[in-house]
Structure 1
C-alpha cells in the first residue's frame, strides 16, 4: 500500500528574492595602507623609532663624546693625530716622501742655513708636512726676509725666499757682525768671509749705516779710499781713510757736506794730498789739518 504523506504533496518552494542593499548599511572596512617607506625601524626588530627619539639619542652621544674628550686630557685628539701619522706613513710607503728640496731666490751660500733651519729631512712624509711651521722656521734665518713653501707631490718641496743682502760689517764692543740695509744682524754670516764689505764702527752704526753707505758708494774716489765709517756719539760720522786721513761729517745734512768734498776734490784733489783731517762740520767753512803740523785747523775754502 502506498505510503500516504500527511498534508498532501508539498509544493516546491521558490527562492526568496534578496532585499536590495540599504544605502545606510555600513560597507566593509577598507584594508589599512602599508606603513610609509621612510619610517625608521630598529634593526631586525621591525619596531618603529620616531625621528625625535633618534635625534635625542644622537645628541646625547655627541655630548657624551665631548665630555669624554675633556675628561681624558684630549686623548681623542691624540688618537686622531696618531691616526693621521699612520695615514701619512701609508702614503709614504706609496712614494709620498721627501726626496728633493728646490730653491728659488736663495744663493748657494744661504741654502745650507735654510735647510738646517727648516727641519726637513730625507724620506719625510710629504702629505703630513706643516708648511706654515716650515715657513716660520725658514724666516727665522737671518738671511731670509720672506719665504714661501710649496709642496710638489709626490716627493718635492720648493722653498722660495726673498734674501736679505749683506750691507756691511758692524764692529761694536769687540764683536764683528754682518748686517743688512735695515741694520738687522745676519747671525749665520761669518764676518771674516766678507772682506769686501764696508766696515762701520760704534754704537748705533748698525742702524745708521743704511743711510750713509749709498751716498759713499756713489762717489768712487771716496769709496775706494775708505777704510771704515766711525759713528761718533750716535749722532754723526767720521770717515777713516786707508792712508790715515779723517773726514768729519756734520750731524745733519751729510749729503751737502759730501757735495762740498766732491767740489774740493775736483778742483784741488784734496783726497790725494794726505791731510790728517778734513773737517766738514761747519757748512760755511771747510777746515783741514796737515800731517806735519799741530795746528787745530786751517781754513782752505769758504762754503765751497
Structure 2
C-alpha cells in the first residue's frame, strides 16, 4: 500500500510516450486510418475470390442482373428506320446490318454500325442513334453524282469529289449528267465539270470528255470532231476555241481535230474530203497560173 507521503510520477512510460508521438505524426495517422483498413479489406477480398465456386457465382449473378436490365421493355430495340437514303442505298444498309429484332440496345455497337454505313461508296455521312420508342435510326447523307464515268466495267456515277457512288444501268436514265471516259478521269472531276461549264455554247454538240494518258482532256464533239486540250490551262484553251468558232465558224468547217496542246501554235486536222477538195482547188489554181 502506497504511503501518503509518496507521490506518483506523472510522466508516461517510454512506450506510451513513443505511441503518443507517433499519433501526432500525419503520415502515421493516415496509414492507420486509410492504408491499414484498405489492406485488410483487400486481403479479405482476395481470400474470398480465391475460391473458384465463389467467382462463378458472382459472374452468374452479374450476368443475370445485366440480362434482367437489358431485356426491360424500355431498353429493347424493335425496328430500324433509315432516313435520307434512296431505296437502293437503304437496301444496301439493311444488307450489311443483319440485325435480328427485337434486340437490346446494350447489344448494339452504335459506333461500329455508323462506321460500316459510312463505308458505303454512295454515303457521304451517316449518324446512328436509338430513338425513343425502340427505333434504331440511321440518318444518311448521300453523295450527289455530278458526272457519268465510262469504264471497262460500264457506266459509273461519280460525285464532285471523285467518289464512285454506284453503277449507272443506262445512259438514258441520267440524261442530265455529262459523260467522261478514260483512266484517271475520276481524279479530275472538278476540272471536267469546269470544262462542261465552259463549253456552254457547244453544249448541244459535246458528246463527252476523254482523259488521255491521265494527263489531259479531249473534248469529243458530234460529227467525229475533237478538241485536244493541254495539260495546263485546259479551260482557257477551250474558251479560245469557242471564241474562234463563234468568230470564224471554225467548228462548222469540215475538220476533224483542233489541237490546242501547244498554246503558241494551235493546229487543225482536216477531214479526208476536205483535204481532197483542197488539193483539187490547188491543182486548178496551179494549172490556171501555168496557162497564164
TM-score category (smaller protein): 0.5 to 0.7
Distance 1:202 1:179 in 2: 13
Residue 199 to residue 100, structure 1, CA distance change in 2 (3 Å): same
When Rg is computed on C-alpha atoms for both structures, the one with the higher figure is 1
1:199 aligns with 2:179: yes
1:56 aligns with 2:39: yes
* Partners of 2:255 and 2:268 within 8 A in 1: yes
Residue 268 to residue 123, structure 1, CA distance change in 2 (3 Å): farther
Equivalent of residue 86 in structure 1, options 26, 47, 67: 67
Partner of 2:90: 111
Q: CA deviation at 1:254?
A: 0.8
Distance 1:136 1:174 in 2: 28
Partner of 1:284: 264
Distance 1:267 1:224 in 2: 18
Residue-pair matches, total: 240
* Partners of 2:198 and 2:238 within 8 A in 1: no
* Partners of 2:74 and 2:134 within 8 A in 1: no
Q: Give the secondary-structure state (helix, strand or coil) at the position aligned to 2:130.
A: strand
Residue 181 to residue 51, structure 1, CA distance change in 2 (3 Å): closer
If the length of structure 1 is used for normalisation, what is the TM-score?
0.64
Residue 264 to residue 90, structure 1, CA distance change in 2 (3 Å): same
Gaps of 5+ in 2: 7-32, 279-292
Gaps of 5+ in 1: 1-21, 25-49, 70-74, 299-304
Distance 1:81 1:183 in 2: 51
1:131 aligns with 2:114: no
* Partners of 1:199 and 1:228 within 8 A in 2: yes
Q: CA deviation at 1:203?
A: 2.1
* Partners of 1:202 and 1:232 within 8 A in 2: yes
Residue 228 to residue 56, structure 1, CA distance change in 2 (3 Å): same
Q: CA deviation at 1:264?
A: 1.9
Distance 1:172 1:67 in 2: 67
* Partners of 2:149 and 2:186 within 8 A in 1: yes
Q: CA deviation at 1:163?
A: 2.0
Where does 1:61-72 land on structure 2 (aligned, <5 Å)?
Answer: none
Distance 2:207 2:228 in 1: 14
Partner of 1:184: 163
Q: Provide, for residues 28-56 of structure 1, a one-character-per-residue CA deviation record: whole Å limited to 9, x for no partner.
A: xxxxxxxxxxxxxxxxxxxxxx9866533
Residue 100 to residue 206, structure 1, CA distance change in 2 (3 Å): closer
Residue 255 to residue 66, structure 1, CA distance change in 2 (3 Å): farther
Q: Provide, for residues 226-282 of structure 1, a one-character-per-residue CA deviation record: whole Å limited to 9, x for no partner.
A: 223211111111111233211110111112102102212322344444531122222
* Partners of 2:255 and 2:274 within 8 A in 1: no
Partner of 1:248: 228
* Partners of 2:194 and 2:235 within 8 A in 1: no
* Partners of 1:169 and 1:199 within 8 A in 2: yes
